[in-house]
Structure 1
Amino acid sequence: MEPLTRSEHIKILASMGVEIPANTKIPDDDLEKRLRAALDAAQEKSRFITPLNHQALPQWPLKEAGVLDTSSKPLLQAVSRGNWQEAVHNHARGSRTSELFVDPFMDLRQTIMSLANVLDNGLTWCTIQDPEQEKSAINIRVLELDEKTPAMVLLYRSHTRPNAMEGARWVQQQVDQNPKSLGGLGLNISATQLEQKLLLKLLSMNAKLLPVNFEVKKQRGEEHYRASVLLPIGPLGPEAIGKLNSKTGCVICGKAASQRCGQCQSVSYCGADCQRADWREHKRTCRSLKGGRWVKAHFRAVAPGMEGMHTVFINRYSNMSRTEDLLKNTIPPSDPSTAEPPANLHGERLFLVKLQVGIVGLGRDTIMVYDRQRSFGNVYIVRADDEKTFAELVLEMMGPRGGYGGVKMYRWARRLSDWEFSICIDREPEADIKW
């Protein structure tokens, strides 16, 4: 199967929440690096040692040839990943799953869950094939499972029309070797060609998780099959989305930036050519800031009454599948006056912030502020520090430019000092907010 094209890289990254301008001049190898980094983050590969200790992976408990013991926790449950935003969306649709063949990254996740369901039903193999069943397919046979990760060690091979008969013979061989009745179980998992390309990219990357001396006893017809690993894969968290969307250079080509937009200072370019190329996309944001009213807001590192306490922050991108993600505690200093100033990765540049006022109790006197990258964590604008500015911000949230139930809004900001922002209070960003 042909590798992913440039436009397909951009489409997949967009489906994962990574914003790449359609007219970007970013080199192909940079897009490749971003996709690899996004897939690594979606699998939480930083949690694992590379290569995996293959010897520590338990053998599948076989009752009979080709049939798995499924008495333990269902694999489908173990590999399922999701966040609060997806849960709300699926609930509104009256379904536990998302639409198929619309979002390539979501389709990939659905396929991995479908494979887990096949294994839960007692079989060790399946075929992933295009919906029309006439263009391409990937044959997979699972060898081992790490029940804690869970990491599925497998053999796979891609088939297209020229070698379709080889793939068909392999399928027939699997059917003949499995004494368990298939009983109508769907062993053909539907996947678009784009999704199959993405899966092959993932498997190629994950082959490095296996030791270099990894050996497997291949069956007849599996001489050209490759070994790899599938890990649970889920939506990117806010930290990963922020990091992958951060602009370290020219917004168009990624090269070292030597100038900013003269009107709003919010984007950087390597030169006039890229600035002209981006104007069609950037002009809405740029013009939205013209004539805006800016207010100075002092902020604190700790909300009043929370000094020395554990705190938990959950947003729509928080992972619902890992309890520890929801219990990541931070311990603010007991004395806020001794707190170190939050990091300033933006310098003098403009950046978007989310401002959210508390709903009950002391929270009504506090506005939490953070950026997409969470570069300075969560900081707080407090009513007692400047009642007039605080009231203006809350009033703007409740007005027609606020939205979100009158409790939060997105605005452009600039860091003035260690403990001060300048916020464009009356200009709603034109950009599509995805965090």
Structure 2
Amino acid sequence: MEPLTRSETLQALASMGIELPPHTRIPDEDLEKRLRLALDAAQEKNRFSDALKTLDLPQWPLIKADKIQSNSRPLLEAVRRGNWQEARQNQAAMALGASGAPAIFVDPFMDMRQTLMSLANALDNGFMWCLIQDPDLDVHAINIRFLRIYELDEKTPAMVLLYRPFNRSNAIEGARWAQRQAANNPQNVGGIGVNIKATLLEQKLLLKLLKMNAKLLPSDFTVERQPDEERFKVSVLLPLGPLGPEAIGKLNNNTGCIVCGKRAGMRCGQCQSASYCSAECQHADWQSHKQTCRSLKGGRWIPVPFRTAPPGMEGAYITTINRYTSITRTSDLMNSITQTDSTVAPLNIHGERPFLVKIQLTQTGYGRVRTMTVYDRQRSFGNVYIAQCDDPGSFDKLLSELTGPRGGFGGVKMYRWARRVGDWEFSVCLDRPPEADIKW
């Protein structure tokens, strides 16, 4: 099977929340690196990068139909990952009478997550092998046999497997292998999990993931191969979830020149919001950039003081939940709790350049003081707060904009351009909403 094309890589990145201009000339190797980083983040691989090197791990307590085990845990529930946004979308769909399941063959990353759950379901039902085939069942396939399921923690399995892609040129070999597996592992669950349909793009993306994950296993990992498995490769699958806000912000923001991805040494002179490596790239991007540029150029900027803790909560422990926050583990929420320090000015990675911020109306503190929570896409300075008591004039201007026709989101939040003009002060472009959809 051929590797991902450039357009397929862009499509895969977009399905993960990382959107680049369709006309971008970012080198292929940079796009490929961005995809690797995105897939690593989706697996939370940084938490387990060394765990499989020795394989000194317990086996996952699989469900066994012929033996009741009190400690057995369904793999399907263990690989399921989601965030608050997906949960709300599913609830809304079910309220309208739909199943709540996402449409298939539309979003390659979501499709791959669904395939992973189907594989886990097959294991729960006693199958140790599976065929992933194109929707027409006659072009491309990936044959998989599971070897061992390790337990990285009580909610994270690592599924070690053998795999090989097939196409029409070697379909007979693939069919012969499948017949042997069916003879050795004949459980019948109505076909669930044995034949999984996947588009060519999803299969390519899965093969990319498997190639990356092979490096997680120790170099001396040995496999007892069955007949017809000489050309099968060994790898491991970890649960896949939607990217969190930090990963989305980092992968959407650190693009270098917006056109070609090279080191950016200049910015648009009118709005300072777009980076370029040369005048040639700036000229090439003008048709896409001009609307945002012109709106920022005429924007009304106001100074806004901020603080690192809501009034009355200095030194308190605070956490923030948004639509990208994981709902899989309570530890995700616990790890995001931080103690406020009102004596140290937040980090400024943006210098004097404008950057996007989210401004959200809140009521905080023991007296339910009216404040607004502010953070940037990279969470470079955590959360800061605009308090009405610090500067009623600027607060009321922001509130009027937030609840007005340009505010949106039910009058509780808005996205705006801001500049850092002091250790404890922003300048906010009040009346110019960002033109593009915000991947936050």
| TM-score interval for Structure 1 and Structure 2 normalised by the shorter chain | over 0.9
14-23 or 205-214: bigger deviation: 14-23
Distance, in Å, in 2 between the alignment partners of 1:272 and 1:314 is 41
Alignment partner of 1:271 is 2:278:
yes
Give 1:33 shift.
0.5
Q: Specify the alignment match of 1:385 in structure 2.
A: 390
Q: Specify the alignment match of 1:252 in structure 2.
A: 259
2:401 paired residue among 385, 389, 396: 396
Distance, in Å, in 2 between the alignment partners of 1:191 and 1:67 is 32
- 8 Å Cα contact 1:50-1:208 kept in structure 2: no
Q: Specify the alignment match of 1:6 in structure 2.
A: 6
Query: What letter matches 2:403 in structure 1?
Result: M
141-150 or 45-54: bigger deviation: 45-54
> Structure 1 residues 62, 395: closer, same or farther in 2, change over 3 A?
closer
Helix, strand or coil for the counterpart of 2:407?
A: coil
Residues 89-104 of structure 1: pairs in structure 2 closer than 5 A: 89-94=89-94, 95-104=99-108
270-279 or 394-403: bigger deviation: 270-279
User: Deviations along 1:380-433, whole A, 9 cap, x unmatched?
Assistant: 111111101101101111100001111111111111011111001111111111
Give 1:249 shift.
2.3
Alignment partner of 1:120 is 2:124:
yes
Give 1:183 shift.
4.4
Give 1:347 shift.
1.0
State TM-score, norm by structure 1: 0.94
Q: Specify the alignment match of 2:301 in structure 1.
A: 294
Helix, strand or coil for the counterpart of 1:227?
A: strand
Distance, in Å, in 2 between the alignment partners of 1:5 and 1:63 is 40
Q: Specify the alignment match of 2:214 in structure 1.
A: 207
1:308 paired residue among 300, 315, 326: 315
Query: What letter matches 1:224 in structure 2?
Result: R
State TM-score, norm by structure 2: 0.93
Distance, in Å, in 1 between the alignment partners of 2:233 and 2:67 is 22
Query: What letter matches 2:131 in structure 1?
Result: T
Q: Specify the alignment match of 2:339 in structure 1.
A: 331
> Structure 1 residues 38, 413: closer, same or farther in 2, change over 3 A?
same
Distance, in Å, in 1 between the alignment partners of 2:251 and 2:286 is 22
Give 1:96 shift.
3.7
User: Deviations along 1:293-322, whole A, 9 cap, x unmatched?
Assistant: 110001111111222221121000001111
Alignment partner of 1:376 is 2:381:
yes
77-86 or 182-191: bigger deviation: 182-191
Query: What letter matches 1:379 in structure 2?
Result: V
- 8 Å Cα contact 1:310-1:330 kept in structure 2: yes
Distance, in Å, in 1 between the alignment partners of 2:382 and 2:62 is 49
Q: Specify the alignment match of 1:220 in structure 2.
A: 227
Q: Specify the alignment match of 1:350 in structure 2.
A: 354
Helix, strand or coil for the counterpart of 1:295?
A: strand
1:406 paired residue among 390, 411, 420: 411
Distance, in Å, in 1 between the alignment partners of 2:186 and 2:139 is 30
Alignment partner of 1:35 is 2:44:
no
Helix, strand or coil for the counterpart of 1:82?
A: coil
Percent of matched pairs sharing the same residue: 63
Distance, in Å, in 2 between the alignment partners of 1:9 and 1:101 is 16
Give 1:192 shift.
0.3
- 8 Å Cα contact 1:353-1:411 kept in structure 2: yes
Consecutive unaligned residues in structure 2, runs of 5 or more: none
Q: Specify the alignment match of 1:77 in structure 2.
A: 77
Residues 410-421 of structure 1: pairs in structure 2 closer than 5 A: 410-421=415-426
Q: Specify the alignment match of 2:45 in structure 1.
A: 45
> Structure 1 residues 269, 219: closer, same or farther in 2, change over 3 A?
same
Distance, in Å, in 2 between the alignment partners of 1:303 and 1:407 is 17
Consecutive unaligned residues in structure 1, runs of 5 or more: none
**Count of residue correspondences:** 430
Give 1:292 shift.
1.4
Give 1:63 shift.
10
Alpha-carbon RMSD? 2.0
Helix, strand or coil for the counterpart of 1:4?
A: coil
User: Deviations along 1:32-90, whole A, 9 cap, x unmatched?
Assistant: 100000000000000013361453244577999x9998861110000000011111112
Helix, strand or coil for the counterpart of 1:287?
A: helix
> Structure 1 residues 200, 177: closer, same or farther in 2, change over 3 A?
same
- 8 Å Cα contact 1:70-1:122 kept in structure 2: no
Distance, in Å, in 1 between the alignment partners of 2:222 and 2:307 is 57
280-289 or 370-379: bigger deviation: 280-289
Helix, strand or coil for the counterpart of 2:318?
A: coil
> Structure 1 residues 62, 243: closer, same or farther in 2, change over 3 A?
closer
Alignment partner of 1:168 is 2:175:
yes
